[in-house]
Structure 1
Amino acid sequence: MRWEAFLDQVKERGEYESTEEAERAARTVLPLLGAHLVGEVRAELAARLPEEMALVLLNPLQAREPLSPERFVRATAAWIEGATEQTAAWDVGAVLSVAADAAGEELTRRILLQLPAGYDLLFGHPQPV
């Protein structure tokens, strides 16, 4: 996926007024996601993202413990000036749903296996109970 196409999709899903807003969301959410993924899953996702986003995904610090979806959203809000949990949830959903589309169903399923329960909703891929 090309950089412009990725940002255009994030901009559309997030209903952002500018590409800069979409890029800010992506550069905040993807490192947090990358901190929670390990091994081949992280590398495969990076390979399906634009190079600029792959580098962001691959260079985070490792998370000490997996964040629940709620804590992931709060962490995102903490990194975005002026964000609330509600706006951060919107940012997370926009970015992760585009990442899931780039990843495809099989890789998205493997990503979700590495994350605590509830991330399926953040990715826009609700799993059957």
Structure 2
Amino acid sequence: MQMRWETFLEAIRERGEYATPGEAERAARVVLALLGAHLVGEVRAELAARLPETFELILLNPLQAAEPLSPERFVRATAAWIEGATEETAKWDVGAVLSVVADAAGGDLVGRVLLQLPPGYDLLFGRPTAA
């Protein structure tokens, strides 16, 4: 089921402790554009279908990635796209957005998403797996 825009942004705002919905939206746009470049096929389409329409389109029309980014490089790339961000604040942004995405997706779909990503993304999604 598709998550409502307000519900999605409010959850990110609360989790990321953002002062405004605009800050939460900016983080969500960057993180989802980067994430979309790492996912393909049915998994990306299924995940997109659970997000509010604007974010669904961002995930389906991602920034192009030359190669899959490790979790650390994903955080660095996020920092580069968010004005005034540091790696520490970007890690916070990524965690806030991806943990809400994981809630919207549910465990089964998150498991399939993680199979398409390099090791270590489970922590960014707030879903650590036993090694």
Following TM superposition, by how much is the alpha carbon of 1:51 offset from its aligned partner in structure 2, in angstroms? Answer: 0.5
Is residue 120 from structure 1 mapped to residue 112 from structure 2 by the alignment?
no
> Partner residue of 2:55?
53
Say which of 105, 110, 118 aligns to 1:108: 110
Distance 1:61 1:16 in 2: 24
- After superposition, give the CA deviation of every residue in 1:35-79 in whole Å (9 maximum; x if it has no partner): 000000000000000001100110014422100000000000000
Is residue 64 from structure 1 mapped to residue 73 from structure 2 by the alignment?
no
> Partner residue of 1:20?
22
Distance 2:102 2:94 in 1: 12
Distance 1:47 1:60 in 2: 15
Aligned-CA RMSD value: 0.6
> Partner residue of 2:37?
35
- Which structure 1 segments of 5+ residues have no match? none
- The within-5 A match list for 1:5-16 is 5-16=7-18
Number of residue pairs matched by the alignment: 129
Distance 1:62 1:87 in 2: 23
Distance 1:64 1:102 in 2: 28
Distance 2:42 2:70 in 1: 22
- Which structure 2 segments of 5+ residues have no match? none
The TM-score, its normalising length taken from structure 2, stands at 0.97
3-state SS of the aligned residue for 1:65? coil
- After superposition, give the CA deviation of every residue in 1:13-41 in whole Å (9 maximum; x if it has no partner): 00001000000000110000000000000
> Partner residue of 2:84?
82
3-state SS of the aligned residue for 1:21? helix
Percent identity, please. 78
